[in-house]
Amino acid sequence: MQMVEIVHHILEEILKPGDRAVDGTAGNGWDTLKLCQLVGETGRVYGFDVQESAVLKTEERLKAAGCLKQAELFCCSHSEIDTKVHEKIKAFTLNLGYLPGGDKQVVTKKDSTIKALEKLSEMLMPGGVGTILIYYGHEGGIEEKEGVEKFMAALPSDWGQVNRMETVNRKNCPPILYILEKK
Ligand SMILES: C[S@@+](CC[C@H](N)C(=O)[O-])C[C@H]1O[C@@H](n2cnc3c(N)ncnc32)[C@H](O)[C@@H]1O
């Protein structure tokens, strides 16, 4: 099973119609679409990407699937998430790295990723879940991965639990998945 499929299964477990969720890296819109389908028309999904082309692609995908009503998309960094989202969320997902089929020079970066994680972990409601899937084979990827790892390890146990899943029999920086569950 691909890591993205695992992420979608986790989100299916946690999200119900009417819930609020964030996709911090909308990209081609696949994860945003999944969130929108799970929360339904009575829910709300906030999607972020720094690339206008990614936001437009996500918008098109949601429109084609009849899911645009429950979405709010922003062309800005996920580090600014608190200026756009003013309510608690049940789930968030981050898919770190570059956009497959897009501009490989535009990658997520350690500092903005950590800022987003600080804000998202605050925004999660008790019982909420966050998934962070990190691809780190590109330049700066290892630095970002180390920053994420440090952030996760420092989350106090009374905040909740962080689990890590990784492929152990694949070379060349296979993705790592972190699953956060807030108490
Ligand atoms: C691995 S892709 C995401 C794939 C996406 N989840 C999907 O379903 O197609 C990473 C995305 O993060 C975006 N990105 C890079 N830096 C960002 C930032 N600071 N804030 C928000 N998005 C960012 C990139 O433009 C790229 O589209």
Residue 158 phi, psi (nearest 5)? -80, -10
Return the best residue to mutate from 23, 25, 118 for the ligand 1 pocket (most ligand atoms within 8 A of CB). Answer: 25
The residue behind tokens 């605050």 is 122
Range of the domain at 165: 3-182
Ligand 1 proximal residues by C-beta, below 6 Å: 24-25, 27-31, 48-51, 54, 77-79, 95, 97, 99, 106, 108, 112
What gap in Å lies between CA 105 and CA 98, rounded to an integer? 7
State residue 102's pLDDT score. 85
DSSP label of 20: E
pLDDT at residue number 15 = 98
For residue 153, the domain's CATH number is 3.40.50.150
Spans of the chain below 50 pLDDT: none
Q: Say how many domains are in the chain.
A: 1
Rg (CA), the chain: 15
How far apart are the CA of 138 and the centre of ligand 1, in A?
A: 14
Mutation to probe ligand 1, out of 5, 35, 108 (largest number of atoms < 8 A from CB): 108
